Amino acid sequence: MEEKHGMAKVIAIIPGLAFMVFTLYLLRTYVEPWMTTAVVFGQKGWFVQVLHLNYILLAIIAGMLYRNLLWAGKIPGWAEEGFRTTRLFIKSGVMMLGSLYTIQSLAKVGGVAIALIMSFVFGTILFVMYYGRVQKMDRSLIGVMAAACGVCGVSAAIATTPAVRAKPADVALAIATVLGFGIASMFISPFIGHMLHLSDYQFGAWVGTGILNSGQVLATCLAYNPTIAPGTAVAYGEIWNVVRVISIPFVVFFITMWYWRAEAEAEHITLVGIIKDKFPVFIIGFFAMTALSSLGMLGAEGSSTIQLMRTVMSWIFGLGLVGQGAYIDIRELKAAGGAPLKVGLAAGLIKYALALVVVLLFVSKETNF
Amino acid sequence: MSEPKKNAKMTVFKTDRHEDMAAMFFVTILVLSVLIYMAYIVPTIVLKAPMDGKMVAVTVQPEAQVKKGDLLYSLEIKEKKYVHDTLEEKLVVKEIRAKTNGKILSISAKPGDNVKKDKNEILVLKHEKGTLP
Amino acid sequence: MKILLALDPSTETMDEAIRLATEKRASLTALFVLDATWNDFTGHDWLSGSGSRADFLEYARDNELTSEADTIAEFRKRCSPDCEIKSSTGRVTDEILRELAREKYELLVMSHPFRRGLEIVRDAAGAILKHANCSVYFVRGNESRSSLNTVNDMPFQTVAN
């Protein structure tokens, strides 16, 4: 493909981006309001009351329908560049979420988040290392699966692959497993949450700990409660997400050391080097927003300024999620198989269920955050 | 033999680090736009009910000057709160205070009115330029 | 008669294509496609910051190049000197179909399952059969589902740049 520069690059973005904006506009102005009033099976607002659909889930579903039905598995050339902006939007949304917290509130919830996540991360890594060996899986693939199931799913797998010299084709199967699990839990978790009457705090803690692929944590929380404000599912889930993202370089370091133990290559690996290379810089933006909000520079809680800021945020997320959906090819997920599927499924299910049990037993419904 | 380019384009940006920086820049622009828009461009703001409830009292008059923190009106709402892991609902009166200095232009709700979140208009406020309403 | 062989690591498929070409006195062209869709495949991954995805994509590309060199070397060992070998970059099935459209081939020989790049998670056979303008001959590939079920402690090498 010809690489474009300057203005040509910007122009190439427009069609896909406009398509994403148009989709979200339709969903938010027409489809969502219609769903709250539509009578299905004799119940008013069945889509919302029973299916718990909201614009977040609709955005993802719309993206998935485009890719898998309308475009038969491939984002077309005219929309390609525009859809590539999806990560920019989600990253921006995540940074803006930093404004929901103050430094004090972050410190209060952060402790619980770090304790829960670290025990689950390393628990899962050890489980995968053991079970992968039982399944006679390749050592480098065990490394990739351990990172993927332990921390952030796809991002962790991608970060670990070059370090443990895993075959990209095998990694593709690992990604299919992890992403498939993430997407399934994104649609199922809100149901379980509503069924068990979890509070927003509990739901955020559960989903933040239990979902295999961090890419789906935010969307799942927003699917449970689409309100973006302090004290909602997304506010809690995001703290968990941030802790997970920050821990990626450390996990990559740990797994790389395990993989290369007693080999010359291990001497060249330093934690500082890995952090420099892999640390997600956009997380700094998240904390910058928290600092600004702690200083009261973004307007008072409940003010019209904050409301407008959160409306902007919800549009940014919505846009990003239409794109996210369009990057999901169901056929590629169906190809998941072999040992990665067995190991991923076992680790994923145990983590998901265990996190729910821990949250129900030890995390109280109320929080004074 | 065609060889893929060494730095084949990954995103709209050259690398994810560029994308991270671009996202930071984008957020800065967005936040600044919202702040400048609210502080300098919007002349008046319409305060709508922040939650469903019943108006208890309106403590300001039209044309009155208000200062940040002044009581504007109070609203009786149903507060849901988890106490010892059970959801308790109780009626509480919530006081809504001015977020910034300004002048009340009009008041459209009166005590006893039932108001719906983000639907019913309560009052219109002209805020001091440069403050965040 | 012209035969196109879509190259993947399967040596059985190579042998079968060479046998067919000799038998039918056909000219044989082998096409290796470097998969350029890794970027798109990881497109949903917004959590990777900084160099992570770049390192991965570069690593995947290096692997593609190693695979290209190995597969072509393997094919050269087996084929006659007059066999033509082509190479291109893109979405694998699209590139094969493009080559079929460009030259007048009468037969396409390929492995099933087709193990080239991300086709491991895709249905290459389905995509080719739907649009191919000539007969297609599938050979049951001999490489087990990569290294998934084998214990292999030796990290494999990538091409040094």
In a domain, B103, yes or no: yes
* Residue whose pair of structure tokens reads 């509480």 in the numeric block: B92
CB A252 within 8 Å of CB A159: yes
Distances (CA, A) of C26 to C23, C37, C84, C119: 8, 33, 12, 28
The total of structural domains in chain B comes to: 2
**Angle at which helices C11-24 and C52-78 pack, to 10 degrees?**
40
Q: How would you class A198 by CB atoms within 10 Å of its CB: exposed for 0-12, middle for 13-18, buried for 19 or more?
A: buried
pTM of the full structure: 0.84
Q: Is the bond into C113 cis (omega within 30 degrees of 0)?
A: yes
Give the pair of three-digit tokens for residue A23. Answer: 């989709």
Choose the closest CB to A152 out of C43, C44, C47: C47
In chain A, residues with a C-beta closer than 8 Å to the C-beta of B83 are 366
Chain B residues whose C-beta is within 8 A of a chain C C-beta are 1-4, 6, 8-10, 15-17, 20
Q: What does pLDDT average to over chain C? A: 83
Interface of A with C in 34-73 (CB under 8 A): none
Backbone φ and ψ of A148, nearest 5°: -65, -45
Q: What is the pLDDT of residues A245-295, one digit of tens each?
A: 888 888 888 898 888 886 766 667 788 888 877 788 888 899 999 999 999
Choose the closest CB to B27 out of A81, A92, A303: A92
Cα separation of C4 and A192, whole Å?
53
The CATH number linked to C16 is 3.40.50.620
Residue A49 pLDDT: 76
Interface of A with C in 77-136 (CB under 8 A): 83-84, 86-87, 90-91, 136
Which alpha helices (H) appear in chain A, and where do they start and end?
6-26, 32-37, 46-49, 55-65, 77-83, 86-97, 103-134, 139-150, 154-164, 168-195, 200-210, 217-224, 233-259, 271-278, 282-294, 304-326, 330-334, 338-362
Contact B8 C57 (CB under 8 A): yes
Contact B31 A84 (CB under 8 A): no
Residue C128 pLDDT: 92
Q: What is the pLDDT of residues A115-139, one digit of tens each?
A: 888 899 999 999 999 999 998 888 8
Contact B99 A300 (CB under 8 A): yes
| Lowest pLDDT segment from B12-16, B104-108, C79-83 | B12-16
| pLDDT over 80 (residue C23) | yes
**Angle at which helices A282-294 and B16-36 pack, to 10 degrees?**
20
Distances (CA, A) of C29 to A75, A262, C32, C69, C92: 30, 46, 10, 17, 16
The total of structural domains in chain C comes to: 1
Instruction: For residues B51 and B111, state if they share a domain.
Output: yes
Instruction: For residues B9 and B62, state if they share a domain.
Output: no
Cα separation of B45 and C158, whole Å?
62
Q: How confident is the model at residue C40 (pLDDT cuts 50, 70, 90)?
A: confident
Q: What is the pLDDT of residues A312-352, one digit of tens each?
A: 999 999 999 999 899 888 888 887 777 888 999 999 999 99
Q: What is the pLDDT of residues A46-71, one digit of tens each?
A: 887 777 788 888 999 999 999 999 99
Average pLDDT over residues A172-196: 90
Residue in chain A closest to C53 (alpha carbons) equals: A158
In chain B, residues with a C-beta closer than 8 Å to the C-beta of A365 are 82, 85, 87
Chain B interface includes C41 (CB < 8 A) = no
- C108 compared with A261, residue with greater pLDDT: C108
In a domain, B133, yes or no: no
Residue A37 pLDDT: 85
Instruction: For residues B33 and B70, state if they share a domain.
Output: no
Instruction: For residues B22 and B34, state if they share a domain.
Output: yes
- Containing structural domain, residue B34: 1-41
Which alpha helices (H) appear in chain C, and where do they start and end?
11-24, 38-41, 52-78, 92-102, 124-131
Chain B interface includes C50 (CB < 8 A) = yes
In chain B, residues with a C-beta closer than 8 Å to the C-beta of A200 are none
Residue in chain B closest to C59 (alpha carbons) equals: B6
In a domain, C47, yes or no: no
Closest-CA residue to C108 (of C91, C89, C120, C92): C92
Instruction: For residues B49 and B19, state if they share a domain.
Output: no
In a domain, C64, yes or no: yes
In a domain, B14, yes or no: yes
Residue A248 pLDDT: 86
Instruction: For residues B97 and B117, state if they share a domain.
Output: yes
Hey, is B62 helix, strand or coil?
coil
User: Domain residues of chain A, as ranges?
Assistant: 85-362
- Containing structural domain, residue C90: 2-42+54-140
The strand pairing partners of B126, in sequence order, are B44, B103
Closest-CA residue to B27 (of A88, A18, A305): A88
Interface predicted TM-score (ipTM) = 0.85
Q: What does pLDDT average to over chain A? A: 87
Question: How many residues are recorded in chain C?
Answer: 161
Average pLDDT over residues C51-75: 90
Residue A301 pLDDT: 82
Average pLDDT over residues B7-12: 53
Cα separation of A158 and A168, whole Å?
9
Cα separation of A338 and B77, whole Å?
56
Percentage above 70 pLDDT, chain B: 89
In a domain, C150, yes or no: no
| pLDDT over 50 (residue C158) | no
Task: Give the angle A145-A146-A152 at the CA atoms, nearest 5°.
Answer: 85
Residue B11 pLDDT: 58
